[in-house]
């Protein structure tokens, strides 16, 4: 691999960026190394059995459109994987049954699978040309390296998304009364601080209304806790305040609703 490509890869990886930004830079470098007209990353949906172009870099007459998809069984990449063939400069004869390749006029094809750590197939990294190009060992080596980099980045991106989703769920859980599913004491005081600050800035007023469920313990004692729980839920759902615009209703108790 040339020092120029190594320097660009190092510079690219040193910057914190999205998967799309990373892939687009890698595709541009891949085009320079392979001398192909188009380089692109595909995503394979195993459930829907379709392959879609995620990102593409087109430098000449050949135009691989982003978002373009084909049934996986009809794709050029699937044929290459099944034949264990990463390169061909005679696509029209070798895979003459691939309609998509014929329509795009692909003559030379280089493809490396992008596999995740568990071995599952995420997609493919490809380079194509309408002209017959000779085999390029450096191009295949660079493509293999880039496929691994993309795989690692995809898994990192997925992990970040999972952590963000878990954090949102945890925040929601810690701010919600378990029984009534209303905002709890913690959420109420947080919201009040924001409302008061906003009201001061806009010279408005904030009204705070307490609804005391006096005698609630008698409901539990006479009809049982399930009935008491149902009563609390209905109060939260049916309260006129819960249906009024711009009014927040919260459950406020010493330890949520402790069935006193």
Same domain, 9 and 131: yes
Q: How many domains does the chain have?
A: 2
The pLDDT tens digits of the residues spanning 162-211 come to: 777 777 777 777 888 877 778 887 888 888 888 889 889 998 888 777 77
The CA distance from 100 to 109, in Å, is 13
Same domain, 145 and 186: no
Ramachandran angles phi, psi of 238, nearest 5°: -100, -5
Average pLDDT over residues 71-87: 95
Query: pTM, whole model, 2 decimals?
Result: 0.64
Judge whether 40 and 64 are in contact, CB under 8 Å. yes
Across-strand partners of 117? none
216 is in which domain, residue-wise?
173-243
For the residues of 236-256, what is the DSSP string, one character each? Answer: HHH-GGGGSTT-------BTB
Same domain, 207 and 97: no
Judge whether 182 and 250 are in contact, CB under 8 Å. yes
């Amino acid at each position: 691999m040339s020092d120029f490509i190594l320097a660009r890869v190092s510079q690219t990886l040193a910057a914190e960026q999205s998967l799309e930004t990373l892939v687009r830079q890698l595709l541009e470098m891949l085009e320079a190394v392979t001398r192909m007209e188009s380089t692109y990353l595909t995503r394979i949906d195993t459930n829907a059995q379709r392959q879609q172009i995620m990102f593409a870099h087109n430098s000449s007459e050949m135009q691989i459109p982003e978002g373009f998809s084909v049934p996986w069984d009809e794709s050029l990449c699937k044929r290459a994987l099944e034949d264990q063939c990463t390169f061909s400069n005679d696509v029209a004869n070798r895979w003459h049954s691939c309609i998509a390749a014929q329509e795009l006029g692909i003559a030379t094809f280089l493809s490396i699978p992008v596999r995740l750590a568990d071995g599952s197939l995420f997609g493919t990294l490809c380079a194509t040309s309408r002209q017959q190009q000779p085999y390029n060992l450096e191009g295949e080596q660079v493509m293999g390296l880039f496929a691994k980099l993309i795989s690692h980045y995809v898994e990192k991106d997925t992990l970040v998304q999972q952590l963000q989703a878990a954090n949102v769920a945890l925040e929601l859980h810690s701010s919600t009364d378990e029984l009534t599913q209303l905002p709890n004491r913690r959420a109420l005081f947080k919201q009040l601080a924001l409302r008061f600050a906003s009201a001061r800035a806009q010279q408005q007023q904030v009204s705070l209304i307490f609804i005391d469920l006096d005698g609630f313990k008698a409901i539990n004692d006479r009809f049982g806790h399930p009935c008491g729980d149902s009563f609390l839920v209905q109060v939260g759902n049916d309260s006129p305040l819960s249906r009024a615009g711009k009014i927040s209703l919260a459950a406020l108790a010493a330890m949520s609703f402790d069935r006193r």
